[in-house]
Amino acid sequence: MNPLTLEFWSALITIVFIDLVLAGDNAIVIGMAARNLPKHQQKAAILWGMAGAVAIRIAATALVVYLLKVPWLQLAGGLLLVWIAYKLLVQEEGGHDVKAGNTLWQSVWTIIAADAAMGLDNVIAIAGASHGHLLLVVLGLLISIPIIIWGSTLFIRLLGRFPWIIYLGGGVLAYTAAKMITHERHIEELIGDRTWVAWIFYAVVIVGVLLAGYAVNAARARRTAWQEKSREPH
């Protein structure tokens, strides 16, 4: 893919956005892993930890990009990404069982291990959005990781203030998933020159994911409101 084309830059922006939307939990883990260290070591732990996490993320994404060339695995990856997009929209607040390190290298290892364990969604999403181009993966991570490290708190607050950003992220993931599915070689051959079929499929997947996420969130909000009302003294 030519770096001078609009396709390249739109894919890069998509990758950075996906990284940021899916990075909320990672940002919390970073802070928790380094919280017991002296102030002067916390920055070093975060930098070394994220350097190791980025290296693992690039290697894992490169592996997934290669695997997606195997027949039908792109379809499987796309279906899994549809589920990830849905889970992003309906995720519940939960605790993070992260043991804080007491030494610099304990904290570094905790950050790397936690990111590797939590990074499957990122890896699949980025592999799909990169269209098999590792340069896009590397550039996207190099751009988004500093933002995650230094701007994670701000971004999390932004998500809390503007909930629609999560729905935008879910839509981007759903679109990426739909493209992965239609780019499966057998399905691509089935669609042929009828690009309108692919665009209808994109719309169905995006609208389906967003409506499902909104319905679950609305039902949860009504249930929470009812529970709070039932606790009020009569």
Please spell the DSSP secondary structure of 111-139, one letter per residue: HHHHHHHHTHHHHHHHHHHTTT-HHHHHH
Residue the block writes with tokens 């039902």: 219
In a domain, 167, yes or no: yes
* Higher per-residue pLDDT: 112 or 156: 112
Domains contained in the chain, number? 1
* Average pLDDT of the segment spanning 218-229: 84
Distance of CA 29 to the CA centre of its chain: 15
The confidence score (pLDDT) of residue 26 equals 62
Q: Is residue 148 assigned to a domain?
A: yes
Q: 1 in a domain, yes or no?
A: no
Kindly report, residue by residue over 39-68, the tens digit of the pLDDT: 777 777 777 877 787 788 788 888 888 887
Residue 59 lies in a domain: yes
Structural domain boundaries, residue 185: 6-231
Query: Is 146 within the bounds of a domain?
Result: yes
- Band (pLDDT 50/70/90 cuts) for residue 117 is low
C-alpha distance from residue 102 to each of 27, 32, 98, 231 (Å): 19, 12, 13, 42
